Each structure stands twice: as structure tokens, then as C-alpha cells.
């Protein structure tokens, strides 16, 4: 965790080293002296201990209340507190009587997935208090409540990406809003580059799993203090993409007769906004990645943390070049959005059929109760 420093002193480290929030067993307060060692390393000692401390380090007085304040600031700015997210959820709940069961995130060029929704009530992101705005072409920036195949749903026409300058926690914050609005399922979609040589432009990849490469570098949407009202500190990710929904998707794809254009594979998200080098793509392929994009992974981690059931698919908008003499054109966003538009009807049909099938399952389950 970064950002908790005063004059180069790591406040969190100091706090952790100095006991409980209310002072130590001897009644001393938690205001303490942090020492900045000459070599740049930081160490801390309690106020009382420090009276006898006679070394050369520079001493900085650290106020407990200030530490708490700074922590709150960082949590609100980057992670959004439970209360703030609840406020955003309440904004919707007070303005619509629709209580969605499924949340849909429309990927680049896939805004039209929301065209299948009826009885809509739409909210522009710019009008929603404390909500970020979409800055990417192909992302409208609207939250749409309504009905799809008779199911109450909410769709995000536009998501937030790390490369737009939002921290990961903020990129995936809307997932928590949707959770507090009441959804049980998250259907995420994205545009991605096809790395598996079998994939063609316009194909669909049902996401079977992901590799959280940004997480390898220590960047996670769950970084920072954990609020157990959302979920546990250490959530498992072994069933990140619900196996029953993957099975259902296989069946739906067969019914649609598009099984030759649909695959199951592993997605990864890189920070972007640049597309990948040939060397990077070769490495990703060796790692087992089938499709590469710039979203979804942090949304799914956030969704699983708060116990949402997840389904996701990627539209393959370009083929990734894994050799320098490749005849593939350079990836570009115009093409990504264009392919999205040209495949909107097939993606829309897949989404509608999945939801129709799921609605039947839910009805059956409720009937049995
Ligand atoms: O929002 P998604 O993941 O569908 O958008 C992809 C990733 C980048 O935002 C963009 C690159 O063209 O498309
Ligand atoms: N990272 C990445 N994101 C994409 N989104 C659509 N195509 C691509 C791609 O080739 N790479």
C-alpha cells in the first residue's frame, strides 16, 4: 500500500508497530514518534520508548488522528467506502422501482446489448453523484434499468478502465453499487485481441478463467483495508466464472448453431492503453492466455469478493500478431468498435438466450421451494 506517508514516513507501518487504536496497555496514547533513518529506511518507536532513544535519526511526530484521516481519505478516493457506495445504490433505488437480478457490463462497441432491454429507465453517469464518467469511444456512459426476457436487469453502457486514470478499485466500484442495488449475477462482456491461433475476428470466447497479470505486480481492486460487509479479506477465485453458466453457454451456442465461431478460453487484462508487443504476446501465449484485453478481470474479482455469480464473454475484435512478419494489421480501437458493431446481433442473441435460460432455472428453483 502506498500513499500513507508524511515526510517519507510510512504511516501504516508506524501504526502497525505501535499497538491498538486506543493506546497501549499502559494508557499511553497512540501518538508516536516515527524515525527517519539516515539511509532512507523508516523505523518507529513508541513515544515513551523514544525518550531513551539516542541515535542520529530524524524524529517526526505522527498524530494518530491524522493517520486515521489520511486512511479515510485514501479509502474514499480510491476504494470508495461502503457508505459512499450505498449512497450511490440508494440514488438508483429511490428513482426506479425496478429491482434487477442481473447486472450486465457492455464492452467496447457492445453498447447495443442494452437495446434488448424494455421499459427502460436510464441514468447518465455524469448525473450520478460520485460516479466516474466514461472517456472511451464506444462507451456511452449510461446505467440502464429495465427487463430482458422478463428478468429485471441493469446494464452499464460503458465501463471504466485503468488507462483512463482510475485506480482499479474505482474501475470496479460500480460492481459493488450493483451488488447493493440487489443483483445476484454479473454478465460482463469485452472486446479482446485473439491470441489463440484458432480464433478468428468476430468469434466469441466464453471466458472460462482469467490470469490476473496486474495482480502479479501487486495491483488489485481489493487492495487496502477490507470491508467485510462486501466480502472476506482473502476471497477464493477457483470458480470465478460460474461453471453452470459456462455449461449453459455451451448449450445455448449449440442451439444457435454457432459452435464453430465460439470458444472457451482464458482472458487476461493488461493496463493499456497501448496494445501489446510481439514479445509480450508470445509470452502471454506461453502462459496460456487465449484473449487479451484491458478490463473485466478486476470487475470479476470484485464481483466474486461480494459473492456474485459471474458469466463473461469476449468478442474477438482483432488477431494478435505473434511474429514480426505477421500479415495481421496493427490493432486499433476504430476496428475494435467497428467489429463490435458488426457482431452486435449475435452477441445480443447470446446474451438474451442465456438470460432466458437462466430465468427459467430461477423460476424452477423458486417453484420447488
Ligand atoms: O471495455 P473493453 O474491455 O471491451 O475495451 C477494450 C479494451 C480497451 O478499452 C479497448 C481497446 O481497443 O477495447
Ligand atoms: N490489450 C488488448 N486489448 C484489446 N482490446 C481489443 N483488442 C485488444 C488487444 O489486442 N489487446
Evaluate if residue 68 carries a pLDDT over 70.
no
pLDDT mean over 206-212: 98
Evaluate if residue 301 carries a pLDDT over 80.
yes
pLDDT at 40: 35
Ligand 1 atom with the shortest distance to the CA of 109: 4
As a whole-number percent, the residues of the chain with pLDDT over 70 amount to 79
Min mean pLDDT across 42-46, 70-74, 362-366 is at 42-46
Q: CA 133 to CA 135: how far, in whole Å?
A: 6
Min mean pLDDT across 25-29, 188-192, 241-245 is at 25-29
As a whole-number percent, the residues of the chain with pLDDT over 90 amount to 71
If you write DSSP's letter for every residue of 124-167 in order, what string do you get? Answer: EGGGSTT-----STT---EEEEEEETTEEEEEEES---GGGT--
Task: Using the mean position of ligand 2's atoms as its centre, give its distance from the Cα of residue 275 in Å.
Answer: 6
pLDDT mean over 266-294: 97
Phi-psi sector, 74: left (phi>0), alpha (psi -120 to 50), beta: alpha
- Which residue in 96, 206, 108 sits closest to 153, CA to CA? 96
Q: CA 186 to CA 103: how far, in whole Å?
A: 5
* Chain position carrying cell 472457451: 264
pLDDT band at 53 (very low <50, low <70, confident <90, very high): very low
Q: What is the DSSP letter of 52?
A: T
pLDDT at 71: 56
Min mean pLDDT across 113-117, 201-205, 259-263, 349-353 is at 113-117
* Chain position carrying cell 472517456: 135
Task: Using the mean position of ligand 1's atoms as its centre, give its distance from the Cα of residue 54 in Å.
Answer: 57
Query: Which mutation among 272, 296, 315, 329 tests ligand 1's pocket best, with the greatest number of atoms within 8 A of CB?
Result: 272
Q: CA 166 to CA 174: how far, in whole Å?
A: 12
**Confidence (pTM):** 0.81
Q: CA 268 to CA 211: how far, in whole Å?
A: 5
Average pLDDT score, the chain: 84
Distinct helix (H) and strand (E) counts, the chain: 12, 14
**Torsional sign, CA 123, 79, 302, 94:** negative
pLDDT band at 153 (very low <50, low <70, confident <90, very high): very high
Query: Which mutation among 113, 138, 164, 274 tests ligand 1's pocket best, with the greatest number of atoms within 8 A of CB?
Result: 138
Q: CA 185 to CA 173: how far, in whole Å?
A: 16
Evaluate if residue 60 carries a pLDDT over 60.
no
Domains of the chain, earliest start first: 82-367 (3.40.50.1580)
pLDDT at 368: 75
Residues 109, 113, 118: CA angle, nearest 5 degrees: 145
Evaluate if residue 45 carries a pLDDT over 60.
no
pLDDT at 134: 86
Least distant ligand from the CA of 331: 2
pLDDT at 294: 98
pLDDT at 190: 97
Q: CA 10 to CA 22: how far, in whole Å?
A: 20
Count CA atoms closer than 13 A to 135's CA, side-chain side. 10
pLDDT at 79: 63
H/E element, 122: strand 118-124
Evaluate if residue 184 carries a pLDDT over 50.
yes
Nearest CA to ligand 1 atom 7: 294
Q: CA 314 to CA 193: how far, in whole Å?
A: 9
Ligand 2 site residues (CB inside 6 A) read: 191-193, 270, 272, 275-276, 292-294, 317-318, 320, 331, 336
Evaluate if residue 177 carries a pLDDT over 90.
yes
Evaluate if residue 116 carries a pLDDT over 70.
yes
Ligand 2 atom with the shortest distance to the CA of 331: 10
Evaluate if residue 25 carries a pLDDT over 50.
no
Nearest CA to ligand 2 atom 10: 193
pLDDT band at 220 (very low <50, low <70, confident <90, very high): very high
Amino acid at each position: 500500500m502506498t500513499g500513507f506517508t508524511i515526510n517519507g514516513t510510512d504511516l501504516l507501518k508506524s501504526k502497525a508497530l505501535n499497538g491498538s487504536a486506543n493506546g497501549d496497555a499502559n494508557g499511553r496514547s497512540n501518538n508516536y514518534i516515527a524515525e527517519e533513518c539516515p539511509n532512507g529506511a523508516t523505523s518507529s518507536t513508541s513515544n515513551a520508548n523514544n525518550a531513551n532513544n539516542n541515535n542520529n535519526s530524524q524524529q517526526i511526530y505522527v498524530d494518530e488522528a491524522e493517520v486515521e484521516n489520511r486512511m479515510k481519505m485514501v479509502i474514499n478516493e480510491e476504494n470508495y467506502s461502503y457508505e459512499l457506495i450505498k449512497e450511490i445504490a440508494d440514488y438508483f433505488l429511490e428513482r426506479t422501482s425496478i429491482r434487477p437480478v442481473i447486472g450486465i457490463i457492455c464492452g467496447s462497441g457492445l453498447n447495443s446489448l442494452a437495446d434488448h432491454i424494455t421499459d427502460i429507465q436510464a441514468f447518465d453517469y455524469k448525473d450520478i453523484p460520485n460516479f466516474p464518467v466514461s472517456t472511451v469511444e464506444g462507451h456511452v456512459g449510461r446505467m440502464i434499468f429495465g427487463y430482458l426476457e422478463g428478468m429485471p436487469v441493469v446494464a452499464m453502457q460503458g465501463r471504466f478502465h485503468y488507462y483512463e486514470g482510475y485506480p482499479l478499485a474505482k474501475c470496479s466500484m460500480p460492481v459493488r453499487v450493483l451488488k447493493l442495488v440487489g443483483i445476484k449475477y454479473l454478465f460482463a462482456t469485452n472486446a479482446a485481441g485473439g491470441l489463440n491461433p484458432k480464433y478468428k475476428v468476430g468469434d466469441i470466447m466464453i471466458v472460462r478463467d482469467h490470469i490476473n497479470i496486474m495482480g502479479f505486480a501487486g495491483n488489485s481492486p481489493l487492495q487496502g483495508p477490507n470491508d467485510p460487509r462486501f466480502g472476506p479479506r482473502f476471497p477464493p477465485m477457483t470458480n470465478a466464472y460460474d461453471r453452470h453458466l459456462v455449461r449453459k453457454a455451451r448449450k445455448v451456442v449449440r442451439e444457435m448453431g454457432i459452435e464453430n465461431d465460439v470458444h472457451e478460453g482464458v482472458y487476461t487484462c493488461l493496463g493499456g492503453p497501448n496494445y501489446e508487443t510481439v514479445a509480450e504476446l508470445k509470452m502471454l501465449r506461453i502462459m496460456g492466455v487465449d484473449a487479451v484485453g484491458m478490463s473485466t478481470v478486476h470487475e470479476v474479482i470484485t464481483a466474486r469478493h461480494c459473492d456474485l455469480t459471474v458469466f463473461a464473454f469476449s468478442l474477438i475484435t482483432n488477431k494478435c500478431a505473434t511474429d514480426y512478419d505477421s500479415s495481421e494489421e496493427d490493432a486499433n480501437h476504430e476496428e475494435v468498435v467497428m467489429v463490435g458493431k458488426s457482431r452486435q446481433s449475435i452477441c445480443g442473441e447470446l446474451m438474451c438466450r442465456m438470460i432466458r435460460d437462466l430465468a427459467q432455472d430461477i423460476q424452477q428453483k423458486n417453484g420447488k421451494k
